[in-house]
Structure 1
């Protein structure tokens, strides 16, 4: 479809929807979804034949300065749906329209509305069954393009290099300081000590195991997963703005550690990793043993700490956000200690 790019909810008219979906609705009703910290998401209810009951429209933030800074993130999501999604097997919302992203960050996405599927809750955590389904879905992202050299030629997503690792090591200490100032009252001293213990390791960790690479979602966690009662498609992944190339197990470790309380993780992590690995094999990965997969999972545990530290230190602050990042790090720090992750770097 060839609908024009729009900037505001007022531009979502029957004629525009017709250009986007191929059939003009009798009416449209637009309501906001979520909090819109880095953009806006709008649910558009439709009437008429040949149309879904509703769709979601994603637009950039209205603030021009912020919008420009986020253009790279917006571009990653658009290019995922346009270029990568057809080549992988991860379950995601169907994309009806993905426009170009302008240099100042303007774009428009029209996606399948996944209702009545429900978003996961990072604070509450997930059930082992939810995490198992999410891990199996994740293998559909990693497996089909596992170590595909063509990914290295894309240019808009890349592997970590020495310059990036140096920058990470430079900015990480201040991010840790800000994170601990914010979350200090919300975390145990043991978790805080684990975070500090990562400080001398992040550069080497970020460059290690580059011989195994794939498409990394970068924020594959409960808040970015939609869970459905449909057993055929129990989970779909959203928010593709943090893509990179890297060790695939970073997504897996991040998912499991941030989603499950330590007791549940200890009980179920081996079976979850085994299920993920089995799906990798189904998707054609033949040179990656289950033992190696679990070792990568152990090694990759720092992902949950790094993403949470930077998200908390530099993201827009909310009470829920502060508590969420503290919980994510508390859970992940326990996994780092249990699995001896720091000894593997």
Structure 2
């Protein structure tokens, strides 16, 4: 077996080694494998394990993550540094944060990919969120408050800068994102425009011509940002109160405006009528939690303005990703839903005033 396994080369011996290194004195004598999740850049496999030895406390299932089989998605993952970002997150950043994430038993990559493998804690009975269905206000509040564990420990932390794999906004990256958006907007409009309202499509097109509302360089404040913090990338346990939220899919992590994560999640995850009633209370709760985490000199008005500017983060993810990953029926439905929700979000908050 090579040092980086694939889903077809995982063995009892390799799984045993991973558990032994984590302190479990067990042997894996057999396993079954099943594909789970709806990822388009990577694919996840659940391994149900048969164990012998000191099995108390040892996991009986684990989740492996590998690159997609689709060549376009694999190439996209390398181009956008998705694979190196996620592996490096587990290797270098996970332990310094308090946001809930799965325990990592293995993380390795060949260069910047596409060959990589992760072996992660299976977080059942938590289940994957559903981007299309949306979520309750309780889940939304819990998810946004969980972001404090990502943002506060990295708030304006200069030591995070200069990491090539992590990246940060600069003139070159901003121009690349603008070029990708402009290069895909016509195809996006052709594919989805007929199902969007005129003002929704108009503001989506307007973003292609505008300067970034948060500027072309790293904003103040900045922090680590998930970039794609949405329901499909969260595992949720609603049997607990408040619901337990665990963040997965760290393939896009970067430095940027923390409120962009908040706005992206609420814009994508709540139906518009629900969001209108709940968003200010949730953002205020997030702001209070930042202050409780010793974040200073960040008032409510600045927070709310950054939130209103952050709504456009969802436009870039929606337009670019929809046109460069493997096309699926669920993907089309998801990207159309996201386009509607993000556009309405921006329009209802009057955020088009920041498009110049």
Please indicate the TM-score interval, normalised by the length of the shorter structure. Answer: over 0.9
2:250 pairs with one of 222, 230, 240: 240
Segment of structure 1 superposing worse, 276-285 or 245-254: 276-285
Q: Quick check: 1:56–1:113 contact (8 Å CA) kept in 2?
A: yes
CA distance in 2, matches of 1:329, 1:163: 26
Please report how far the alpha carbon of residue 128 of structure 1 lies from its aligned counterpart in structure 2 after TM superposition: 1.1
CA distance in 1, matches of 2:188, 2:64: 33
Query: Which residue matches 1:222?
Result: 231
Please report how far the alpha carbon of residue 37 of structure 1 lies from its aligned counterpart in structure 2 after TM superposition: 3.3
CA distance in 1, matches of 2:253, 2:110: 16
Query: Which residue matches 1:59?
Result: 66
Query: Which residue matches 2:12?
Result: 14
CA distance in 1, matches of 2:75, 2:198: 39
Query: Which residue matches 1:154?
Result: 163
2:295 pairs with one of 264, 285, 297: 285
CA distance in 1, matches of 2:312, 2:112: 33
Secondary structure of 1:102 counterpart? coil
Segment of structure 1 superposing worse, 188-197 or 77-86: 188-197
Please report how far the alpha carbon of residue 239 of structure 1 lies from its aligned counterpart in structure 2 after TM superposition: 0.3
Matches within 5 A, 1:23-102: 23-35=26-38, 37-48=40-51, 49-50=55-56, 51-62=58-69, 67=74, 70-71=77-78, 72-102=81-111
Per-residue Cα deviation, 1:153-172 (whole angstroms, up to 9, x for no partner): 33321221112222333332
1:145 pairs with one of 151, 154, 174: 154
Q: TM-score, normalised by structure 2?
A: 0.90
2:207 pairs with one of 187, 198, 201: 198
Query: Which residue matches 1:339?
Result: 349
Q: Quick check: 1:308–1:329 contact (8 Å CA) kept in 2?
A: yes
Matches within 5 A, 1:165-184: 165-184=174-193
CA distance in 2, matches of 1:202, 1:224: 28
Please report how far the alpha carbon of residue 255 of structure 1 lies from its aligned counterpart in structure 2 after TM superposition: 0.2
1:321 pairs with one of 331, 339, 349: 331
Q: Quick check: 1:64–1:104 contact (8 Å CA) kept in 2?
A: no
**What residue ranges of structure 2 are gaps of 5+ in the alignment?**
21-25
CA distance in 2, matches of 1:332, 1:64: 29
Q: Quick check: 1:74–1:105 contact (8 Å CA) kept in 2?
A: yes
Please report how far the alpha carbon of residue 203 of structure 1 lies from its aligned counterpart in structure 2 after TM superposition: 4.2
Please report how far the alpha carbon of residue 281 of structure 1 lies from its aligned counterpart in structure 2 after TM superposition: 2.0
Per-residue Cα deviation, 1:291-332 (whole angstroms, up to 9, x for no partner): 211110001111111110111122211122112111111111
Please report how far the alpha carbon of residue 232 of structure 1 lies from its aligned counterpart in structure 2 after TM superposition: 6.8
Segment of structure 1 superposing worse, 97-106 or 215-224: 97-106
1:111 aligns with 2:109: no
**What residue ranges of structure 1 are gaps of 5+ in the alignment?**
none
Q: Quick check: 2:234–2:245 contact (8 Å CA) kept in 1?
A: yes
Please report how far the alpha carbon of residue 260 of structure 1 lies from its aligned counterpart in structure 2 after TM superposition: 1.1
Q: Quick check: 2:236–2:245 contact (8 Å CA) kept in 1?
A: yes
Question: Structure 1's 209 and 31: CA in aligned 2 closer, same or farther, altered over 3 A?
Answer: closer
Q: TM-score, normalised by structure 1?
A: 0.92
Q: RMSD value over aligned CA atoms?
A: 2.1
Question: Structure 1's 63 and 316: CA in aligned 2 closer, same or farther, altered over 3 A?
Answer: closer
Segment of structure 1 superposing worse, 62-71 or 233-242: 62-71
Segment of structure 1 superposing worse, 92-101 or 123-132: 92-101
CA distance in 2, matches of 1:182, 1:68: 22
Please report how far the alpha carbon of residue 5 of structure 1 lies from its aligned counterpart in structure 2 after TM superposition: 2.1
CA distance in 1, matches of 2:334, 2:74: 25
Secondary structure of 1:167 counterpart? helix
Aligned residues: 342
Question: Structure 1's 21 and 218: CA in aligned 2 closer, same or farther, altered over 3 A?
Answer: same
